[in-house]
Amino acid sequence: DLTISLTHTGKYFVSILTEQGYEPIEKTNKAVGIDLGLRSFVITSEGIRYPSQRLLKKYHNKLATAQKHLSRKKKGSNNFEKQKVKVAKLYEKVSNIRTDYLHKVSLDLLRKYDIIFCEDLNIKGMMKNHRLARNIGDAAWGEFVRMLEYKAEMNDKHIGKIDRYCPSSKTCHTCGYVNRGLGYEEEWVCPECGSVVDRDWNAALNILSAGLAEYTCGLSENPVWI
């Protein structure tokens, strides 16, 4: 099969469906928990951080200027159409950079681990927070998890999702104390054991523990979290 498509920026792409052999990624016999965030895009239970790109913030001035120029053009004119393409090219560039990064991070994780656990995030619900919606959309967590899932299936690896109500950030991984009053602090001191808790790394450690408990012990479909 052959498919020809045209983008908003005037580029033609030809997709050809073929059959070919595929060599799966080697097994590592390792499991990891990952926390998806805004400060760090991904932090693993091993403490590895993949930085957030914040592309919309990075390209904000260029996008705003291009949109302003477009708004000043007469709709339907040649200049309007030319500027419209320029705006589309900027958004296309941002999208391509984001997609490339998501592919690289997801592939890197699957090369290092056979089992990856993450939270079952309610992204639609989180997007209702207008203060964070732009950054959450820019992070593209949903697309990233989708990439992890189909690449894991291709390579006979496993992606597990823990319950979204698990208090992974609020629970001290060292002693199990639940900090119910935790706000947006990056670090907090556990009043029970005195540990200095890195919020995101702590969450990744708890995600790994919860994921392994479900994966190996077969907890009920609707676990009740403390």
- Give CA–CA dist 152/195, Å, rounded: 35
Tell me the three-class secondary structure of 87-148, residue by residue: HHHHHHHHHHHHHHHHHHHHHHHHHHCCEEEEECCCHHHHCCCCCCHHHHHHHCHHHHHHHH
Give SS3 for 36.
Answer: strand
Judged by DSSP in three states, 42 sits in strand
Q: Which of 1, 92, 119, 186 is catalytic?
A: 119
* CA proximity to 43, closest of 209, 205, 213, 215: 205
In degrees and rounded to multiples of 5, residue 8 shows phi and psi of -65, -15
Catalytic residue (choose from 108, 200, 214, 221)? 200
CA atoms within 13 A on the CB side of 177: 15
Residue 138 a catalytic site member: no
The residues, any chain, with a CB within 8 Å of residue 22's CB and separated by 6 or more, are 154
Residue 119 catalytic?
Answer: yes
Catalytic residue among 1, 23, 26, 35: 35
Instruction: Enumerate the active-site residues.
Output: 35, 119, 200
